[in-house]
Structure 1
Amino acid sequence: MTTAFAAVSLSLAASALHADDYPSKAIDYIIPYNPGGESDVTARFQEKFWSDVTGQDVVISYKPGAGGATAWSQLGGFDADGYTIMNVNFPHAILQPSIKDVGYQTGDVTPVYVFHYTPDAIVVRADSPYQTLQDLINFATENPGALTFGGSGTNSANHLAAVRFGQMADVKVTYVPFGGSAPAMAAVLGGQIGAGMTYTTQGVKAGDQVRVLAIATEERLDIFPDVPTFKELGFDYVAGAYRGVTVPAGTPDDVRNALSVVIAQINDIPEFQAQMQENGYVLVDVPNSEMGAWIAERQADYASGIETLKGN
């Protein structure tokens, strides 16, 4: 055996041992938002099953600010050993650095798994005159800029969705940003804005107080059997806020792959699936091995919307 071959063999063996041993202690799981939002809710759903899958616990903490940018810009300062992980949200982690300096670049974020998305949904108050999406489009066509869409944040998934809807329907709408999904929905219910560009999860929470006009999924959801998809209505649109788990750059590939397997196993638990689906989430499975191609696809998909946001 040559010296070089022996060195490579020892390196591979050490890597395998590292992966087999992971995780060997509790993991810190940072949420880059305030408690109570979709990122926190889904992490709490995962928390219940983490020890069943790994034998170790996760410790959830919060580092809110700037729509996630505060935490993501600090990601590189943590040890790259797989024991500090962070929730990551797309399109936010693509939009933010594409539009202005937020202290990080998309390439600085190293996701290992994307496990769900909250589909975009257009909602109105239950007593709204808009019975269908076409009613809303007709109003926006006849009254350019008069239709107000409330959503969570600026340069966010909701903001991008409002822009893309305007492009698809060839209408001018006015997007009104709020400090989160909850205050945006409160404005819808209070009649301060005409409609909410929000998520299916918010439609579930609001219940019969709202009418959901359309959802951005491939097929209708069991929780909204009477709500059409955008596709059914003639718009080739499947989108929302995709959430996953990221680690500091430089985390070894074997650890990233091991963490990817853990999240996949949690996604495969029927009880976890039921919790997610009952609350309006749609499960997806994008593992570490496919992450680069998936992010490139998202960047291409968001490109026209990003250009519009830059001009606002």
Structure 2
Amino acid sequence: MRQTSRFKTLGLSTLVAGMLGASAFAGPALAADAEGYPDHNVQYIIPFGPGGESDISARLQQQYFQELTGQQLIIQYMAGGGGAVGWSQLNEMASDGYTIMGTNLPHIILKPMGKDPGFTTEELKNFHYFHYSPDALIVTNDSPYKTLDDLIAAAKKAPGSVTVSGSGTQSANDIANQRFESLADVKTTYIPFKGTGAAVTALLGDQVKAEWGYTTTAANHSDKVRMLAVASEERHPLFPDVPTFKELGYDMTGGAYRGIAVPQGTSEEITKKLSDIFSQINQNPEFRQKMEDLGFVLIDVPYEEMDAFMAKRSKEYEQVAREMGIIE
């Protein structure tokens, strides 16, 4: 199966080579001098289309990367397969430190569990995770559910009657709904849509009674929606009146996590230097304020802590994957 999947991606590699530049697919390269790195622009591939939260994050990082290094982040897109098209080709790209790619959780863990997407989680050399969009249970401003307890009471009274929209299956939203049902001992009807935008439209159009979205969703539609609870460790500064699930007695934290990886052959020295650069960006007060204003929650997982971080997340997602029937 692995060979077949890789073979199928070769045609696409040829097509996008012109867009990304020949160097991205030049194969193994001599490791760049870590001391002088970077001495030219770095290609930042987003494995989704433009305009999404991964793209927004990268655009905001550009300014601070240039301030720190004197070089630019050149953003390119390789959309398809919910990120799988890009991730399946990352290790075919030049491993000189001048090609990096965005990665997302739970995507890079769940996708290889269900079928062969052309990559395994272990093949992706993640060097930094910088933020997440916390899951949030969202209703319209005029919803009869004023609190999380109100929604739970309705779901218990008539199992399946509370319809909830979300962004796709095997997504952060889908996982959040599965965990919530288990912890609250309720049954809802989860309806997957193609993206967060469509899920919000369904909520605003009264097609569903609630939505599994993110704090970023609430920030973008603050005049029309409100959150019943948010899956973060602490209350979000944009929404000081919205309780966390933990406060309400449900051990739920998580959402859509975003980070960056390099091809496997990239030297440890350059991988570490990249991690340090993005950690510095994350600590910039101006950058942090911009991200928080958009509803993101910043985290700082450097290369040295990546194995432990991924192991913890993998354990959580594996449990949910069994409940969802992705694995036995």
Give the one of 162, 167, 182 matched to 1:147.
162
Provide the C-alpha distance between the structure 2 equivalents of 1:148 and 1:304, rounded to a whole number of angstroms: 24
**CA root-mean-square deviation:** 1.5
Aligned partner (choices 244, 259, 262) of residue 247 of structure 1:
262
Offset of residue 218 of structure 1: 1.2
User: How big is the shift at 1:302?
Assistant: 1.7
Amino acid at match of 1:230: F
Contact 2:166 2:213 in 1 (8 A): yes
List runs of 5+ in structure 2 lacking aligned partners. Answer: 1-29
SS of structure 1 residue aligned to 2:113: helix
SS at match of 1:144: coil
**Shift, 1:303, TM fit:** 2.0
Q: CA deviation at 1:311?
A: 5.4
- Indicate whether 1:221 and 2:236 are aligned: yes
2:73 corresponding residue in structure 1? 58
Cα deviation digits, residues 242-282 of structure 1 (max 9, x gap):
11111111211111001001101111111100001111111
Show CA shifts across 1:94-153 (max 9, x none).
Answer: 111112221111011111000111111010111111111111111111221222221112
Q: Take 2:161 and 2:319, find their aligned partners in 1: how far apart are those partners? A: 23
**Which of the numbers 177, 184, 195 marks the counterpart of 2:199?**
184
Q: Match of 1:234, SS? A: coil
Q: Which residue, 85, 88, 99 being the options, matches 1:70?
A: 85
* Residues 1:256 and 2:266 are matched in the alignment: no
TM-score by length of 2: 0.88
Q: How does 1:277-288 map to 2 (within 5 A)?
A: 277-288=292-303
Measured in 2, the distance between the counterparts of 1:23 and 1:91 equals 30
Q: Distance in 1 between matches of 2:324 and 2:35?
A: 45
- 1:156-214: CA deviation from partner (whole Å, max 9, x where unpaired): 11111111111111111222111111111111111111111111000000112002100
Amino acid at match of 1:164: R
Tell me how far apart the structure 2 counterparts of residues 172 and 103 of structure 1 sit (CA, whole Å): 34
Find the aligned partners of 1:214 and 1:101 in 2 and give their Cα distance: 35
Cα distance in 2, alignment partners of residues 29 and 192 from structure 1: 38
Q: Which residue of 2 aligns with 1:114?
A: 129
Secondary structure, in 3 states, of the residue corresponding to 2:136?
Answer: strand
- In the alignment, does 2:227 pair up with 1:212? yes
Q: For 2:88 and 2:123, locate their aligned partners in 1 and report how far apart those are by CA, in whole Å.
A: 8
Q: Deviations over 1:213-240 (max 9, x none)?
A: 0001111112101101101100111111
Residue type matched to 1:64 in 2?
A
Q: How many residues align?
A: 298
In 1, distance between residues paired with 2:121 and 2:189?
Answer: 28
Report the Cα distance in structure 1 between the residues aligned to 2:162 and 2:222, rounded to whole angstroms: 23
* Equivalent position to 2:172, from 154, 157, 177: 157
Q: Residues 67 and 153 of structure 1 are in contact (CA less than 8 Å); yes or no, is this contact kept in structure 2? A: no
1:88 corresponds to which of 90, 93, 103: 103
User: Is the 1:152–1:180 Cα contact (8 Å) retained in structure 2?
Assistant: yes
The alignment's TM-score, normalised by the length of structure 1, stands at 0.92
Name the SS of the counterpart of 1:280 in structure 2: coil
Conservation of the 8 A alpha-carbon contact between 1:99 and 1:309: no
Instruction: Give the % identical residues.
Output: 48
CA contact (8 A) 1:217 1:229 kept: yes
Distance 1:148 1:261 in 2: 44
Amino acid at match of 1:32: P
1:18 aligned counterpart, secondary structure: coil
> What is the distance in 2 between the residues matched to 1:168 and 1:103?
34
* Runs of 4+ with deviation above 3 angstroms: none
